[in-house]
Structure 1
């Protein structure tokens, strides 16, 4: 999942400024939120 997250971030950072639409920004926000939640769950299960 981490590699997919990095791939999405790399895709977004290589977009030209005119291609950074609200849809692309929403995708990044959603994926980042999912990754943050995954990290929180992982930390919560650590013993």
Structure 2
């Protein structure tokens, strides 16, 4: 596999392997609250309306 040092080094179809990570609902809500606190990301009822 080619070494990727810059965004321009990426090509369509490249694949990467990373370690598995267990993501919980609480993790998702914590991330959303910090980086994208929109109602549909933080509240189940608001999400149902989208």
- Relative to its length, the structure with more helix (as a share) is 1
Whose relative contact order is higher, 1 or 2, with alpha carbons under 8 Å and at least 6 apart? 1
Q: TM-score, normalised by structure 2?
A: 0.30
Q: TM-score, normalised by structure 1?
A: 0.31
